[in-house]
Amino acid sequence: MNQKSSGTTNESLFARAQQTTPGGVNSPVRAFRSVGGTPRFITKAQGPYFWDAEDRRYIDYIGSWGPAIVGHAHPKVVRAVQEAAARGLSFGAPTEGEIEMAEEICKLVPSIEQVRLVSSGTEATMSALRLARGATKRDKIVKFEGCYHGHADSLLVKAGSGLLTFGNPTSSGVPEDFVKHTLVLDYNNTQQLEEAFKAAGNDIACVIVEPVAGNMNLVRATPEFLQTMRRLCTEYGAILIFDEVMSGFRVALGGAQSLYDIIPDLTALGKVIGGGLPVAAFGGRADIMKHLAPLGGVYQAGTLSGNPVTVAAGLTTLQIVQEADFYTKLSAQTRKLTDRLCEAAKAADVAFSADTVGGMFGLYFAPSVPTSYAEVMQGNKDKFNVFFHAMLDAGVYLAPSAFEAGFVSAQHDDAVIEATIAAARTAFAAIK
């Protein structure tokens, strides 16, 4: 089927999509519910750009929500995928490519001695959680408000009304019984974490955290928060899981764990490691990973896990990000973008701040960078929405929500940043 037939508009496609797909989209945030308006239907992408059904070009700052770190349709990645596809799409039996992928991950991610490939970040975190519970023979898990770890039942939990109030489901369809073992604490609240371990530490199977949070806009963990978490997990025999589905190969080659110099017991990866195709992974200490089937009693499996085509995309992407100075340049370019945005906001007298970690950025319609979910929520959502639409009209596609991080690729060169800033000057002026 053609991606695009003549006369189609985003509007007509959205109306058509809603006939057969709930909300017209296959993942909720694509629907523009938070910012209003009509989602853009994308026909093609190249480098830092994508094009919609009306042939309008956008500078893309979502990069497929993280994976597109080397830019869209990188020739080396496309070639690797084409060659792999020509050899067969899926075998359901092991391949050498999977070994190479595992070897690269074990080499590059400090905490990973053994790794298993899966097909989505949700599968990676869900499986890591089951493994942690199976290995410790404990049920309780700790997560932090504002961190997203995929849509497994026991992770769709909002904070209770006070410390040690176990969670309430945030999604209908999740029985209370499924989340009664999930304790939700405040991000970056070290004292609360200490108290939770003092009260229930011997029952806690694991702590799962985004070491750089990217699902409540961008919020970086303080080193003290992560160090305390590491110490408490070791002291109480709980497993520390870093969810680096977003931060892995995004904030640095070795992920957030290399930036903070903290070794978690297990790590979940996704996004960049698939280069735009569905690959994710979880891995860590070999003595924990040995609990997985077929060696141990924790069951986990996947028909398409380690698929030869997706692994070809992932492996090639991982080779490109190892090129000299890849992250130095990516980080500098991302910082240039946010520095220039802050200047433009200041010139327009708009209360605005921004932060970056590697190739990830956060934009806040607030005078200072937030450190917790509660602070993120104080940002001015209405101003963001005006800014978002003004940028979109000017051909710059930001995440369609005030509570999402943004992503820069290696193809966002100075000219792309300049074009973004020119658009931002008009957009900030529209806010006033």
Candidate list 52, 60, 186, 243, residue with the active-site label: 243
Among 150, 169, 314, 359, binds ligand PMP (CB under 6 A): 150
Instruction: Return the amino acid letter for 423.
Output: A
* Residues 6+ away with beta carbon under 8 Å from 160: 166, 167, 168, 184
Our finding on whether 246 is near ligand PMP (CB under 6 A) is yes
Q: Is 60 in the site for ligand PMP (CB under 6 A)?
A: no
Interaction pattern, residues 284-323, with ligand PMP; x per rule: CB under 6 A: ----------------------------------------
Q: Which of 95, 111, 114, 122 binds ligand PMP (CB under 6 A)?
A: 122
Interacting span for ligand PMP (CB under 6 A) from 87-95, 117-125, 131-139, 416-424? 117-125
Q: With beta carbons less than 8 A apart as the criterion, state whether 366 and 379 touch.
A: yes
Does the protein bind ligand PMP through residue 67 (CB under 6 A)? Answer: no
Q: Answer yes or no whether residue 120 interacts with ligand PMP by CB under 6 A.
A: yes
The one-letter amino acid at 393: D
Q: Which of 87, 409, 33, 29 is nearest to 249 (CA)?
A: 409
Structure tokens of 310?
A: 């997706």
Interface residue with ligand PMP among 45, 101, 245, 357 (CB under 6 A) is 245
Q: Is 127 in the site for ligand PMP (CB under 6 A)?
A: no
Q: Binding to ligand PMP by residue 407, rule CB under 6 A?
A: no
Q: According to CB under 6 A, which residues from 198 to 237 bind ligand PMP?
A: 210, 214-215
Tokens of 412: 């966002």
Measured N-to-C along each axis, helices 75-86 and 308-320 cross at an angle, to the nearest 10 degrees, of 160
- Which of 125, 188, 189, 267 binds ligand PMP (CB under 6 A)? It is 125
d(CA 32, CA 167): 28
C-alpha 397/C-alpha 389 separation (Å) is 9
Rounded Cα–Cα distance for residues 359 and 332 (Å) = 9
Residue 270 lies near ligand PMP (rule: CB under 6 A): yes
Whether residue 76 lies in the annotated active site: no
- Measured from the CB atom, the residue of 376 and 431 that comes closer to ligand PMP is 376
* Type of residue numbered 161: S
Residues touching ligand PMP, count (CB under 6 A): 16
Q: How many CB atoms lie within 10 A of CB 38?
A: 16
Q: Are 42 and 51 in contact (CB under 8 A)?
A: yes
- Report whether 3 contacts 43 (CB < 8 A): yes
Residue 65 within binding range of ligand PMP, rule CB under 6 A: yes
The reply to whether 243 belongs to the active site is yes
Name the site residues for ligand PMP (rule: CB under 6 A).
Answer: 65, 120-122, 125, 148-150, 210, 214-215, 243, 245-246, 270, 280
- Catalytically annotated residues: 148, 243, 271
